[in-house]
Structure 1
Amino acid sequence: MKYMVLMYADPAATAAMTDEQRAGVFRRHEELHRDLEGSGEMLNGAGLAYPADTTTLRWNGDGPDGPTPVDGPFAAAAEHLTAYYVIDCASPERAREIAGRVLDFHVVAVEVRPVHDSFGMG
C-alpha cells in the first residue's frame, strides 16, 4: 500500500535553526532515505519552499476571471507542510513506524495518509 508522509514544521523555527541542527536533520533524513531505498519502500519525496513563497489558487466559480491567486499558503497556521515522502509498505503500522522516524524538534507533526492509485475514491 502506498502512503504519503506529510511533514509539518514551524517556518520561523526552521529559519532559526543553527547550522549544527540543520546538519543533524539532514543526517537523519539521509539515513532514513538509505534504509527505505534499500528496502524498496521509498518511492519519492522532497522538501518544500517556505509558505511565504507559496501561491494558493482559489476556485472562483464559473466566472470569467477563472481562479483567484492568493499569496501565501492554503491555511493560516503555526505549522506548515514542509516536506513529504511517498512510501510503499506492507501495513499502516509500518507506515506509522517510518513516519515516527522524522518527528523531532523541527518536524513537530507528521500526517500519514493512504494514496489511491487512481483518482477514484475507492
Structure 2
Amino acid sequence: MKFICLGYADMSTFASKSEAEMNALMEQCLKYDDQLRAGGHYVGGEALKAASDAITLRYKDGQVHATDGPFAETKEQLGGILILEADNLQHAVDLMSKHPGVRIGPFEIRPADEVVNALIKERLGL
C-alpha cells in the first residue's frame, strides 16, 4: 500500500538553528530516507519552498481567485511530501516515527487513494 506522508515544520524552529545544526539534521533525514529506499519503502518525495512563496487558488462565485502565500494562520507549514510503500497504516506509522524530520514538525500519514490513482494512470496510458 502507498502512503503519502506530509511533513510539517514550525518555521521558527528553522530560524533558531545554526546552519551547522540544520545541515546535520538534513543529513540525518537523508540517511533515513536511504534506509527507507534500501528497504523498498521509499517511493518518492519532494521538499517544498516556504509557504510564503506559495499561491493559493480558491473557487468562489464562479471564478478562480488567487491569493499570495498560505491562507491559514499557523506556525506549522507543509514542508514536503514523502511517498512511502508499507504493508498497512500501522507499518507506515512505525517507519515514519523513526524519521528525524519528526523532530522539527509533525507528519500526517494518509493512505493513497488507489481507485483515483488507477483512473489517473489509465487516463495517462500507464
Judge same fold: TM > 0.5, yes or no: yes
Structure 1 position 109 matched with structure 2 position 113: no
Question: Which of the pair is proportionally richer in helix?
Answer: 2
Distance 2:113 2:75 in 1: 29
Structure 1 residue 48 displacement after superposition: 0.6
- Identical columns (%): 23
SS in 2 for 1:9: strand
Residue 4 of structure 1 is matched in structure 2 by: 4
Structure 1 residue 113 displacement after superposition: 0.7
> Does the 8 Å contact 1:55/1:73 carry over to 2?
yes
The amino acid across from 1:103 in the alignment is V
Distance 1:98 1:20 in 2: 26
Residue 90 of structure 2 is matched in structure 1 by: 93
Distance 1:42 1:61 in 2: 41
**Aligned CA-pair RMSD:** 1.6
Distance 2:30 2:75 in 1: 26
Structure 1 residue 119 displacement after superposition: 2.1
Residue 59 of structure 1 is matched in structure 2 by: 59
User: In the comparison of the two structures, how many residue pairs are matched?
Assistant: 115
Distance 2:96 2:61 in 1: 37
Structure 1 position 28 matched with structure 2 position 28: yes
Runs of 4+ in 1 over 4 A off after TM superposition: none
The amino acid across from 2:102 in the alignment is L
TM-score normalised by structure 2 residue count? 0.82
SS in 2 for 1:40: coil
Distance 1:54 1:15 in 2: 19
TM-score normalised by structure 1 residue count? 0.85
Distance 2:18 2:51 in 1: 20
Structure 2's unaligned 5+ residue stretches are 118-126
Structure 1's unaligned 5+ residue stretches are none
